[in-house]
Chain A
Amino acid sequence: EAGVTQFPSHSVIEKGQTVTLRCDPISGHDNLYWYRRVMGKEIKFLLHFVKESKQDESGMPNNRFLAERTGGTYSTLKVQPAELEDSGVYFCASSLTLKGEQYFGPGTRLTVT
């Protein structure tokens, strides 16, 4: 069974541009999470979907970030316009149940220059 996949693995964009990150969870996992690690600091929670609904988006840094999960399958995280401080590694995770183990993808490394 395929694990959590993320695309792209790396992205380099200029300040002010738009970038869209994609996450494909494990098939059948209703719960999908986005996390971010900035500059070797701790990994921080961004938001949690249950199917297509945003269950908790308390970690979203500002309105430049937009997450969607149409149809309750894959999810996208759009950053528009990107700022230098958005650079980091964006992780996606999914779990079968609300309290179930979270399986992580390899992450997308975003560099904003």
Chain B
Amino acid sequence: AQSVTQLGSHVSVSEGALVLLRCNYSSSVPPYLFWYVQYPNQGLQLLLKYTTGATLVKGINGFEAEFKKSETSFHLTKPSAHMSDAAEYFCAVTGSGGYNKLIFGAGTRLAVHP
């Protein structure tokens, strides 16, 4: 069975500081990995995804994530936080069986303070 663990349900950073949101996964098959963001009163929006190829993936709004197979990790980073980055972030992996079912972590709420 596949699973996702997000370390830290709440993360708080200062504006301009590094953002690091942690995600570890468990998968018996080569995973497809995703980060989604949910702003208040909106649906989930895809930030970035890893399928195959380059392990460092760049997404929207300056975010990037690196797939590390040896560590089963897919941490999300951004060099400099903006106030507008305050949201909830979800790491996800596709389910097995060839379909596109997403398996999510519990989410990390990011707060950015001045």
Contacts and interface: CB of A to CB of B under 8 A. Distances in A.
7 contacts: A33-B100, A41-B106, A48-B99, A98-B99, A100-B100, A102-B100, A104-B45
Interface stretch (B36-44, B54-62, B69-77): B36-44
B43 A3 contact: yes
A102 B100 CA distance: 9
Nearest to B46: A101
B104 A31 contact: no
Nearest to B44: A104
Contacts of A40: 106-107
A40 B46 CA distance: 20
Interface of A: 3-4, 31, 33, 35, 40-45, 48, 55-56, 59, 91, 93, 95, 98-107
Contacts of B97: 56
B90 interface: yes
A4 B44 CA distance: 11
B26 to A, nearest CB: 14
Most chain-A Cβ atoms within 10 A of its Cβ — which of B4, B42, B100? B100
Contacts of A107: 43
Contacts of B36: 104
A99 B104 CA distance: 17
A48 B101 contact: yes
Given A48-B99, A98-B99, A101-B49, A43 B104 contact: yes
B44 to A, nearest CB: 4
B103 interface: yes
A42 B100 contact: no
A102 B102 CA distance: 9
B99 A42 contact: no
B103 A45 contact: yes
Contact of B104 (A44, A101, A103, A105): A44
Contact of A106 (B41, B46, B100): B41
B31 interface: no
B102 A95 contact: no
Contacts of B92: 43
Contacts of B101: 33, 45, 48, 56, 59
